[in-house]
Amino acid sequence: MDKIYGRPESIKNRVSTYCPGCLHGVANKIVAEVLDELELREKTICVLPVGCGTLGLFYWNVDMISSAHGRAPAVATGIKRCSPDKFVFCYQGDGDLAAIGLSEIMHAANRGENISVIFVNNSIYGMTGGQMAPTTLEDQHSTTTQKGRNPLTEGYPMKMCEIISGLEAPKYVARFSMDSPKNIIKAKAGIKKAFELQIDKKGFSFVELMSNCPTNWGVTPLESLEWMRENTLKVFPLGVYKEVE
Amino acid sequence: MKKHFVKGCEAIAEAALRAGCTFFAGYPITPQNEIPEYMSKKMPEYGGVFVQGESEVASVNMVFGAAATGARAMTSSSGPGISLKSEGISYIAGSKLPAVIVSVMRGGPGLGTIMPAQQDYLQATKASGHGGFRMIVFAPSTIQEAVDYTYKAFDYADRDRNPVMILVDGCLGAMMEPVVLPEYHDNCNKKADWVLDGCSEREPRTVLSVSLTGEPQEQFNIEMAKLYESWAEKDTEVELYEMDDAEIVLTAYGTSARIAKTAIDMLRDEGIKAGLVRPITLYPFPSAAFENLDYKRVRHVLDVEMSIPAQMVDDVRLGVLGRAEISTFGRSGGVIIGVDEIVQEVRGIAKGGGF
């Protein structure tokens, strides 16, 4: 009998410590599957963020570096420029990338660094306990917007694909969702596209993965998926924002 | 030996290139702009990479990434920029990576002035970032020393897997002196067992400064404390000038020390027995040079810095331990200390102290 499905080699055989229902596990897995399929594992250097994404340290079976909050694209720049033959990707959350690390992501993108960035957007700070992120929706409750995000004082959700696709240098900018098997398959194809661009030395690629946070949203895992469809996915439309052949 | 007439900042950059530095990232700030400018021109000739970072923060984090690949990496800045880099320097230290940081001091605090000062002694030696790490800090006082210590700094950084700082003031950065440049070599850490180069035929490696429980973090702190302690004995460097019979001991580093030496020569012509203790490593601080003074002869220690209030004097006090009177003399904000001012100060001490 042929084995047709199993744990990718790029994932360690460990029990997940993400919260129940968290989609980070899915993101970790599909990235690992793409690394395996493109035979990148042994030349990969993964740059981790600060936040729940840091926990990738426990799961990916590749070389990894843990960067300061928001600085992953700068760290990846140093790595890739010194080791252009290695495969370098950043894995960042929305607080990390769109708030404290906004400068680093914009300029790495603008320089057209030949790296790939996986951006996991769940509209909230997960690790620190549910504070408002730049991606938090209007009226969404968080521990620092307890009456809901008020755009008059806290601004509007920042849409990173829309912002980054306005730059000249990036080669691929796309937003996917992990709320359903169908969307996860699409997301994986997008990650593969991004990674192939780097292999072909084409330049900067950016894949946003819409995610959830049952713990800090205060809902069950299933409810969190419904909430994504009814709320976040309406504010953050899925699709390819930029693709340069 | 062929001598080159070189400006301080450019000499530091050239020394780094000859030490095998293949990655430099930096951000414009006066008075160190000649370092990134020189690097942008010369680095490609040495086969390395120059990146002008979008910020001080990004620049030091690029160095962090480059160092993780085994490249000899460097960044430079001045006080306001070192403040911003302090996050990254802490991560480099916490992740056990080597790197060389050059700080060319100007007046402060805040935006301060762009003129030479020594306002960043405490920043360099006590807390160039959070978390209580230490760095070896070299304070050259000539362009030749700036070349020699920059060249050496990479070896120390690699040996300890820890950042090393070169601390000069804007005077040394801007002035020109003849120097002998060292041989080029291509040392790097590419073959070290901690570099990230893809897990081909080995287990994956991680470079990190994070610990989820207390004990591993404490263990790291204990190991690093041992490393820092080991420097005191083997790496401390100090120059003693006219100290054999000195009754009034001046202490100064960098540009202040050069001026102090001239003052000492003039004072000796007047019969005042002055000498100089010049710390070359500001960390580890040469405490022994002060502990071992003959306090039957030495009555007064004068700390001279281009900083108000004086900063190094705190470390001097810990060496002197009350056995001689200590006073400070300084100018700041970009005002260079005059030789006459030091002479005047010491004359006053000599008169008042009954020498």
Tokens matching residue B127: 């807390």
A63-66 vs A116-121, strand pairing mode:
unpaired
For residues B24 and B133, give the distance between their C-alpha atoms in angstroms, rounded to a whole number.
23
Q: For position B355, what pLDDT does the model report?
A: 53
What lies within 8 Å, CB to CB, of B347 at 6+ separation is: B267, B270, B272
pLDDT digits (tens, 9 = 90+) for A48-66: 999 999 999 999 999 999 9
A65/B73 CB distance under 8 A: no
- B59: closest chain A residue by CA: A74
Residue A174 · residue A208 · CB < 8 Å: yes
A14 touches chain B (CB under 8 A): no
Q: Chain B: nearest CA to A232, how far in angstroms? A: 31
pLDDT at residue B332, as a whole number: 97
Tell me the C-alpha distance between B353 and B316, whole Å: 20
ipTM: 0.97
User: Cβ contact (<8 Å) for A79 and B68?
Assistant: yes
Q: CA-CA distance, B166 to B156, in Å (whole number)?
A: 12
pLDDT at site B62? 98
Report which of A120, A118, A119, A111 is spatially closest to residue A203, judged by C-alpha positions.
A111
Mean pLDDT, chain A, integer = 97
Q: In B, what residues contact A, Cβ < 8 A?
A: 22-23, 25, 49, 51, 53-55, 57-59, 61-71, 73, 87-88, 91, 95, 196-201, 204-210
Residues A181-212: pLDDT tens digits? 999 999 999 999 999 999 999 999 999 999 99
Sheet of strand A44-48, all strands in order from the earlier edge strand to the far edge = A239-243, A172-177, A205-210, A116-121, A87-93, A44-48, A63-66, B206-207
Tell me what pLDDT residue B353 has.
62
Q: Do A42 and B51 touch (CB under 8 A)?
A: no
Instruction: With H, G, I as helix, E, B as strand and everything else as coil, classify residue A126.
Output: coil
The top-level CATH class assigned to B4-235 is alpha beta
Q: Model confidence at A1, in pLDDT bands (50, 70, 90)? A: confident
> Does A46 contact B at CB distance below 8 Å?
no
Element (H, E) at A221: helix A221-227
Percent of chain A surpassing pLDDT 90: 98
The arithmetic mean of pLDDT across residues A211-238, rounded, is 98
What is the C-alpha separation between B204 and B188, in angstroms, rounded? 21
Task: Please give the class, per CATH, of domain A24-143+153-243.
Answer: alpha beta
For B204, which of A64, A77, A79 is closest by C-beta distance? A64
- Whole-angstrom CA distances from B246 to A28, B278, B352 are 68, 14, 17
Whole-number pLDDT of residue B102: 98
* Neighboring chain B residues of A75 at a CB cutoff of 8 Å: 61-62, 64-65, 68
Q: Provide the b/e sequence for B200-230 (b: ≥16 CB within 10 Å).
A: eeeebbbbbbeeeeeeeeeeeeeebeeebee
| Cβ contacts of B339 within 8 Å, gap of 6 or more | B259, B262, B263, B266
- Give the Cα separation of A66 and A53 in Å (integer): 10
Q: What is the mean pLDDT of residues A76-104?
A: 98
8 A C-beta contact, residue A212 and residue A227: yes
Across the interface, whether the CB atoms of A78 and B68 are under 8 A apart is answered: yes
Low-confidence ranges of chain B (pLDDT < 50): none
- Domain B238-352: which CATH class? alpha beta
Q: How confident is the model at residue A245 (pLDDT cuts 50, 70, 90)?
A: confident
- Across A61-82, average pLDDT: 98
Give the start-to-end residue ranges of the domains of chain B.
Answer: 4-235, 238-352
* Contact list, A199 vs chain B (CB under 8 Å): none
Are the beta carbons of A78 and B65 separated by less than 8 Å?
A: yes
Answer yes or no: do A77 and B199 touch at CB < 8 A: no
pTM for this model (two decimals):
0.97
Distance from CA of B195 to the nearest CA of A (A): 9
| Cα radius of gyration (chain B) | 21
Residue A45 contacts B where some CB pair is shorter than 8 Å: yes
User: Best of B62, B72, B96, B209 to disrupt the A interface by mutation (most A CBs within 10 Å)?
Assistant: B62
- CA pair distance A172, A190, nearest whole angstrom: 9
CA distance B278 to B172: 16
